[in-house]
A and B are shown apart, each in its own frame.
Chain A
Amino acid sequence: MPAILEVEDLRLHYLTRLGKRVQAVDGVSFQLQPGEILGIAGESGCGKTTLVSGLMGLLMPPLHLSSGAVRIAGRDILRLPPAEVRRSVLGRDIAMIPQGALNSLNPTRKIRDLATDVILAHDEGADRRAIQERLRERFTRIGLEADAVLNAYPVQLPAGMKQRVVIGISTLLNPRIVIADEPSSALDVSSQKAVIQLLFNLLDEGIVSSMVFITHELPLLRHVAGRIAVMYAGQIVEIGTTEQVIFDGRQPYTRALMGSMLSAEPGQKSRKPVAIEGAPPNLGEPISGCRFAVRCPVAQPDCPQRDQVLREVAGRHVRCHHAH
């Protein structure tokens, strides 16, 4: 099957006010198949949110494209004029649930009005009555209590419900791809579960076709994603199926992520989670050699000199020349 989304050697940088260049995404490639959920995990500041901006074609200063392409159904959205991206790509081809969206809803307007705006923004002539019907139908279909939710103001909803409403609104236009940036990190476990359930409903109902799920919590992806990409310092360091990455990670950073998991199980209290000291490299300066070298628990003498490339190891791709 042809990929629904193709990312080809994408590089993105920020130009700061002080004229510095921060290479936040540095050579990311992957393909998203129809029906798939791809998980992206990684440390804070490794460029996940920046990558999302790139995938959405939202390249606004200070963020700039260095090189690469993002193709949706063969069309490179990074080379389209911004107005065209806004008109025909956002919301229809690809939609995003932004990080921290929970708290960004305009508090002075009802959910109903916020949702109506989304539809009107894409279809000015739409009939008001028909829109209301459509909203009811959609909210019910994805498992939300349409009447209660639509008439509420954002502040009246608990955080978990608010997040589900954000997702409901973002997917009103039946986007083919949904990108969820840390949609559940701020929520308690029960709300997390409800949010994931909702995302599954969207796929199962055929409202969306594929999904990219971004989080810093690798274990969560076990239940969500079919494939997982682990990012470190602007690059993918391991990409493979969920089973491969979670239970049999080959890249040292992936293994450390799994090793530092904390769980509420007897005996876990005395176990010492793997902590890796030090900070990831400064993305504002050119980097050579393995980016993980200064923190890698199994680093070899040649690691800081050798630039790492993704290569196939045990059926997945790994950016570490010592992995086997």
Chain B
Amino acid sequence: MKLLRHLLRSPGFLVGALLLLATLLLAFLPPLLMELDTSRRAGLAYMPPTSGRWLGTDHLGLDMFALLVSGLRSSLYVGFLAGIVATVLGTLIGVYGGYKGGWIDDVLTACTNLFLVIPSLIVLILLSGSLQEGRSLTLIALFIGCTTWTWSARAVRAQAASLRSRDHVALARINGYGTLGIVCLHILPYLLSYLFMVFILQTASGILTESVISMLGLGPYDTVSLGNLLNQAIRNEALSDGAWWAFFPPMLLITVIAFALYVLNTSMEGVFNPRLRK
């Protein structure tokens, strides 16, 4: 409760939360209020915004607003799923290594470092490139999660290692708890706020990564996402046609989501950390 009040008093948190809320509303509210069809042509190619079609049309004459809303939903989905996968993987590996120490830790750290030096974007590009039809949103999200967990593993490992030497863990051991019990009951609770922050960052990076690979044309197949929209806009000369409404809104949305998540993360760090130090 006190924490919440502290958070609400931090301007960064407020800005981040409001922006995030706005994007979520944009993603989920319009379909309830109006009919949005992303497959029916609403006019000619690249028609500028009018009062009826807020964001004009794309190169096929589809309604840009409908595309944007649906793309936003896909991007959020990919981001959150990738964030969850990366956080869970990273946490498992980081906490286990950090708590166990010794050779197990050495092996897991070596693995993490190996994954860290492999440029994940290139792996992703190769992976997506080798798959064609099968590139579903979920698959892309899993790929992203499986290549970006290293960051959270390292962060979590350091925290778990410092908790390991605390007496309450020693007490749990001589109370007869096994490794699983100690990790779940005596280490993870202390990391919860930290894990939440890790998750937010992983989500942000998931969304950004998805847009990059989609922009390169290797994104989810046959699905609208913010990155895909950008890719389409570039490929179909929206830039030279001066059709700013085809690429500017998706770009803006990507920036806004990433910004909101990063701001949320930093503001939470300011509030959580004094407690962590205690």
Contact = CB atoms under 8 A, between A and B. Distances in A.
Tell me, yes or no, whether A and B come into direct contact in the complex with CB atoms closer than 8 A.
Answer: yes
Interface of A: 61, 104, 106-107
Contacts of B162: 107
B2 interface: yes
A61 B2 CA distance: 9
B277 A106 contact: yes
Contacts of A107: 162
B278 interface: yes
B150 to A, nearest CB: 21
A104 B277 CA distance: 7
Contacts of A61: 2
A257 B102 CA distance: 47
Nearest to B158: A108
5 contacts: A61-B2, A104-B277, A104-B278, A106-B277, A107-B162
A200 to B, nearest CB: 30
B34 to A, nearest CB: 47
A18 B143 CA distance: 47
A107 B277 CA distance: 9
A117 to B, nearest CB: 12
Q: How many B residues are at the interface, by size bracket?
A: under 10
Interface in B240-278: 277-278
Nearest to B276: A106
Interface string B156-168: 0000001000000
A61 B277 CA distance: 20
Contacts of B2: 61
A230 B278 CA distance: 30
B165 to A, nearest CB: 10
Nearest to B274: A106
Interface in B2-55: 2
A106 B162 CA distance: 12
Identify the 3 closest CB pairs spanning chains A and B, nearest first.
A106-B277, A104-B278, A61-B2
Nearest to B162: A107
Contacts of A106: 277
A65 B2 CA distance: 19
B201 to A, nearest CB: 19
A142 B2 CA distance: 39
A168 B278 CA distance: 20
A114 B162 CA distance: 19
Nearest to B2: A61
A104 B2 CA distance: 21
A82 to B, nearest CB: 13
Nearest to A60: B2
A106 B278 CA distance: 8
Contacts of A104: 277-278
B145 to A, nearest CB: 28
B4 to A, nearest CB: 13
A60 to B, nearest CB: 8
B156 to A, nearest CB: 15
A107 B278 CA distance: 11
Contacts of B278: 104
Nearest to B166: A103
A104 B276 CA distance: 10
A253 B200 CA distance: 56
A61 B162 CA distance: 29
Q: Which of B2, B162, B277, B278 has the most CB of A within 10 A?
A: B277
B1 to A, nearest CB: 9
A104 B278 CA distance: 6
Interface in B119-172: 162
A165 B23 CA distance: 49
A33 to B, nearest CB: 34
A107 B166 CA distance: 13
Nearest to A100: B278
A140 B278 CA distance: 29
A238 to B, nearest CB: 34
A249 B263 CA distance: 61
A64 to B, nearest CB: 14
A200 B162 CA distance: 35
A107 B158 CA distance: 12
A301 B277 CA distance: 51
A61 B6 CA distance: 13
Contacts of B277: 104, 106
B25 to A, nearest CB: 34
A103 to B, nearest CB: 10
A59 to B, nearest CB: 14
A254 B75 CA distance: 71
A135 to B, nearest CB: 21
B255 to A, nearest CB: 32
B11 to A, nearest CB: 17
